[in-house]
């Protein structure tokens, strides 16, 4: 492998402080879909908030017990004062829970920080969708520029190119991983990719380039699976898969490949290019893709990666995902693909039951 350094994650707080010292703004961004290229072009570093460590205590004052842990832990992080470093928050319109969190943060916490919402359209798309999305991009730009720096069109074009390059490298890595040409275990692979949640694009691209430039060492897993759901947590699941010699050969996680898209490298208008890229996103419960489309996508992923089964990792109470799951499971089974649903907290470690379910599923695939 090339330089082993990328395996050790930079200290996040130190990195963010350095970014600030360079004159960058930081925006705390909640999941999941947002036009990061626009933020970059405005000299804003998006710092994504998915699975902050720790257990929620303070957040319970504002939230009912049946709210997903992404929302709960995110609010806890804010209430503990651990987001003081960011200059504002961005809430994409992902689900009702995040929408409500946006209002709690905006209306009740008196943080004295701007709170932005990004309304992206849901399916079914109509003739007006394209226009609507483009208008949302403009609204977001206007809101951000009124508070932060003005937009530099050349830099925006450059940021789309960076985004394209990041997408191209990620694609390459996904392919190497799928074809067992990378020696990364599951527990190494995800933390590396997830650094994109807080690295400046040039830094992230450098990291990805290092990975793809390194020599490839083939791995020989016993079993390949597709990982779907929201994010690869609890992280101990990845080590358990490693121990069982199971490889995540393809991924449909909201926080990873489901957000993945490749904007064109040549375009005449950056906002049109971003709009086009949005409309071509992979199927996702949070944009209301018809279940049949998502099912076909999953089946294709499984067949293309020679995966024997699909594991869904779902944060507890995640409505968008949970509503689709019974039909997805049934459809997969009809297509001869077994699946397992794990509904879980984000930072809970492995319970005996969780271990048994995952191990039994792998035993089942091995038959």
Angular region, 81: left φ>0, alpha ψ -120 to 50, beta rest: left
Stretch that binds ligand SF4, among 5-13, 68-76, 203-211, 355-363 (CB under 6 A): 68-76
Q: Output the smallest distance, CB 79 to ligand SF4, in A.
A: 17
CB contact at 8 A, 120 and 133: yes
CB contact at 8 A, 243 and 358: no
Phi, psi of 251 (to 5 degrees): -135, 140
Check binding of 356 to another protein (CB under 8 A): yes
Check binding of 363 to another protein (CB under 8 A): yes
Binding residues among 326-355 for another protein as defined by CB under 8 A: 326, 333, 338, 343, 351-353
239-243: long-range contacts, CB 8 A cutoff, minimum separation 24: 239/186, 239/187, 240/350, 240/355, 240/358, 240/359, 241/186, 241/358, 242/185, 242/186, 242/187
Residue closer to ligand SF4 (CB basis): 37 or 48: 48
Q: Of ligand SF4, another protein, none, which one does residue 68 interact with (CB within 5 to 8 Å by kind)?
A: ligand SF4
Check binding of 64 to another protein (CB under 8 A): no
Check binding of 70 to ligand SF4 (CB under 6 A): yes
Check binding of 318 to ligand SF4 (CB under 6 A): yes
Q: Output the smallest distance, CB 236 to ligand SF4, in A.
A: 19
| CA separation for the pair 354, 229 (Å, rounded) | 16
Cα Rg, the chain, nearest whole Å: 20
CB contact at 8 A, 138 and 32: no
List 35, 263, 315, 331, residue binding ligand SF4 (CB under 6 A) = 315
Q: Output the smallest distance, CB 198 to ligand SF4, in A.
A: 18
CB contact at 8 A, 118 and 92: yes
CB contact at 8 A, 315 and 230: yes
Residue closer to another protein (CB basis): 64 or 333: 333
Torsion sign across C-alpha atoms 360, 361, 363, 367: positive
| CA separation for the pair 141, 152 (Å, rounded) | 11
Check binding of 222 to another protein (CB under 8 A): no
Check binding of 230 to ligand SF4 (CB under 6 A): yes
Check binding of 59 to ligand SF4 (CB under 6 A): no
Phi, psi of 18 (to 5 degrees): -65, -40
Check binding of 357 to another protein (CB under 8 A): yes
CB contact at 8 A, 231 and 135: no
Check binding of 203 to another protein (CB under 8 A): no
Check binding of 68 to ligand SF4 (CB under 6 A): yes
Angle at 177 between CA 176 and CA 183, to 5 degrees: 100
Check binding of 65 to another protein (CB under 8 A): no
Check binding of 364 to another protein (CB under 8 A): yes
- In DSSP terms, 342 is beta-bridged to 313
Binding residues among 264-283 for ligand SF4 as defined by CB under 6 A: none
Residues that bind ligand SF4 (CB under 6 A): 31, 68, 70-71, 94-95, 97-98, 230, 286, 315, 318-321
Residues that bind another protein (CB under 8 A): 326, 333, 338, 343, 351-353, 356-357, 359-360, 363-364, 367
């Amino acid at each position: 492998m090339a330089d082993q350094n990328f395996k050790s994650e930079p200290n996040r707080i130190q990195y963010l402080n350095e970014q600030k010292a360079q004159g960058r703004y930081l925006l705390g961004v909640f999941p999941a879909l947002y036009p990061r290229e626009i933020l970059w072009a405005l000299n804003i570093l998006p710092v994504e908030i998915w699975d902050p460590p720790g257990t929620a205590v303070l957040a319970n004052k504002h939230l009912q017990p049946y709210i997903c842990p992404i929302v709960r832990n995110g609010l806890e992080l804010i209430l503990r004062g651990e987001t003081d470093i960011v200059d504002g928050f961005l809430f994409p319109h992902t689900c009702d829970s995040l929408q409500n969190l946006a209002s709690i943060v905006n209306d009740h916490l008196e943080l004295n920080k701007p709170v932005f919402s990004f309304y992206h359209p849901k399916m079914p798309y109509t003739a007006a969708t394209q226009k609507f999305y483009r208008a949302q991009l403009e609204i977001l730009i206007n809101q951000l520029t009124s508070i932060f720096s003005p937009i530099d069109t050349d830099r925006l074009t450059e940021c789309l190119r960076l985004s394209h390059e990041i997408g191209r490298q990620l694609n390459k890595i996904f392919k190497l991983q799928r074809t067992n040409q990378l020696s990364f275990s599951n527990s190494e692979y995800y933390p590396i990719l997830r650094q994109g949640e807080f690295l400046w694009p040039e830094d992230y691209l450098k990291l990805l380039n290092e990975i793809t430039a390194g020599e490839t060492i083939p791995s020989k897993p016993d079993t390949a699976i597709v990982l779907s759901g929201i994010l690869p947590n609890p992280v101990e699941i990845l080590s358990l898969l490693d121990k069982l010699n199971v490889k995540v050969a393809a991924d449909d996680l909201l926080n990873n490949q489901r957000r993945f898209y490749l904007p064109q490298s040549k375009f005449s208008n950056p906002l049109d290019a971003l709009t086009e890229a949005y409309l071509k996103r992979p199927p996702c419960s949070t944009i209301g893709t018809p279940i049949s489309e998502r099912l076909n996508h999953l089946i294709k992923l499984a067949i293309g990666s020679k995966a024997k089964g699909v594991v869904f990792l779902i944060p507890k109470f995640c409505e968008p995902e949970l509503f689709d799951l019974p039909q997805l499971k049934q459809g997969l089974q009809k297509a001869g693909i077994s699946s397992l649903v794990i509904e879980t907290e984000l930072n809970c470690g492995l319970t005996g039951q969780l271990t048994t379910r995952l191990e039994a599923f792998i035993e089942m695939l091995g038959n």
